[in-house]
């Protein structure tokens, strides 16, 4: 199994001279199983360049797994070129948000209206299918098994673990560390903490011992207090997660769009240095567009 980053920024595309090394496109990761089954994690603007790379290999069967419906994870979907060409099959996988009742099919229906895009879904030539994922239930796709778990985000966000012939990877999408809303002397602190501990344990068990852990690292620990409840993590929380779950390698992604490449490297190195004596052989990388990893 192997994976490749096509988009590594969060929130909004940030192209320009200050982001050329790591890239300015939003979240999109290509995964290939041992049988060459195509799995795509999220449909940010990076999916357009991925689509162009697929054109010499038509027809394609693409399985797109959406973590959640915020714009930076879906706004490249209408530009996924195989959708416009006959003979291709595109299947979108995702959960149904219990708060709104909206499922993965609504993602495309909302985007593909004439008010927002010049082509309706019914006018596209590919076969488009929707696969509703049951929360916590594994999904078998050829030689891979995709497991999901709910992460901490303002809307339903599914983190995905992909297992293939003894190798594994996990992608968080967006995830914010759990924080007890009550001070320790509050009468509801213990009950809230018990819920947090149970949710954290469930997530950790899904990640346990993965070969590659890809994590939302939007903020530094200094920035985070001003960004609480926005649904994003920090470099420190990513390193803590990787060490806690025994991940073999950590890939930091979902880069803050205002951060230049030089600034990215500086904050990553700062965090990596702080955790160096706890990593015990774990590797850590700053994700960039074009980075391909073979597991």
CATH no. for 2-288: 3.60.15.10
Strand-pairing partners, residue 134, are none
CB 253 within 8 A of CB 238: no
CA distances from 201 to 48, 167, 195, 230, 240 (A): 36, 22, 10, 22, 14
Q: What is the largest CA-CA distance in the chain?
A: 63
Stretch (H or E) spanning 5:
strand 2-7
Ranges of H-type helices in the chain = 46-54, 71-74, 104-111, 189-207, 235-245, 261-275
The pLDDT profile of the chain, 295 residues, written as one tens digit per residue, is: 999 999 999 999 999 999 999 999 999 999 999 999 999 999 999 999 999 999 999 999 999 999 999 999 999 999 999 999 999 999 999 998 887 787 888 888 888 888 889 998 999 999 999 999 999 999 999 999 999 999 999 999 999 999 999 999 999 999 999 999 999 999 999 999 999 999 999 999 999 999 999 999 999 999 999 999 999 999 999 999 999 999 999 999 999 999 999 999 999 999 999 999 999 999 999 999 999 999 9
**Distance (Å, rounded) from C-alpha 174 to C-alpha 254?**
8
CB 115 within 8 A of CB 102: no
Strand-pairing partners, residue 158, are 150
pLDDT of amino acid 103: 85
Long-range contacts of 68-71 (CB under 8 A, 24+ apart): 68/153, 68/155, 68/156, 68/157, 68/158, 68/173, 68/174, 69/94, 69/97, 69/102, 69/106, 69/107, 69/155, 70/155, 70/174
For the chain, the domains span 2-288
Long-range contacts of 184-192 (CB under 8 A, 24+ apart): none
142 — phi, psi (to 5°)? 55, -120
Structure tokens at 144: 């891979």
pLDDT of amino acid 97: 81
Instruction: Classify 18 as helix, strand or coil.
Output: helix
pLDDT of amino acid 187: 92
Nearest CA to 158 out of 96, 208, 205 is that of: 96
pLDDT of amino acid 59: 97
Strand pairing category for 292-294 and 2-7: antiparallel
**Distance (Å, rounded) from C-alpha 268 to C-alpha 256?**
12
No. of H helices and E strands in the chain? 6, 14
């Amino acid at each position: 199994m192997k994976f490749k980053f096509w988009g590594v920024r969060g929130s909004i595309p940030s192209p320009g001279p200050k982001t050329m090394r790591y890239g300015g496109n939003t979240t999109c990761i290509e995964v290939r199983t041992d049988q060459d089954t195509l799995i795509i994690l999220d449909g940010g603007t990076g999916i357009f360049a991925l689509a162009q790379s697929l054109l010499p290999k038509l027809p394609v069967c693409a399985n797109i797994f959406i973590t959640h419906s915020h714009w930076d994870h879906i706004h490249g979907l209408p530009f996924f070129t195989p959708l416009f060409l006959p003979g291709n099959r595109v299947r979108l996988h995702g959960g149904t948000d219990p708060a709104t009742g909206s499922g993965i099919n609504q993602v495309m229906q909302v985007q593909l209206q004439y008010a927002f895009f010049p082509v309706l879904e019914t006018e596209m030539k590919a076969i488009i299918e929707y696969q509703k994922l049951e929360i916590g239930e594994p999904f078998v796709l050829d030689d891979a098994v995709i497991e999901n778990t709910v992460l901490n985000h303002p809307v339903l966000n599914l983190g995905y673990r992909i297992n293939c012939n003894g190798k594994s990877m996990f992608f968080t999408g967006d995830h914010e560390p759990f924080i007890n809303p009550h001070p320790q002397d509050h009468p509801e602190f213990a009950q809230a903490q018990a819920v947090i501990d149970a949710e954290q344990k469930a997530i950790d068990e899904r990640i346990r011992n993965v070969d590659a852990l890809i994590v939302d690292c939007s903020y530094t620990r200094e920035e985070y207090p001003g960004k609480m409840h926005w649904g994003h993590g920090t470099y420190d929380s990513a390193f803590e997660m990787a060490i806690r779950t025994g991940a073999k390698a950590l890939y930091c992604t979902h880069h803050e769009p205002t951060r230049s490449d030089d600034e990215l490297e500086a904050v990553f190195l700062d965090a990596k240095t702080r955790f160096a004596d706890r990593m015990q052989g774990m590797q850590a990388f700053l994700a960039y567009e074009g980075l391909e990893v073979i597991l």
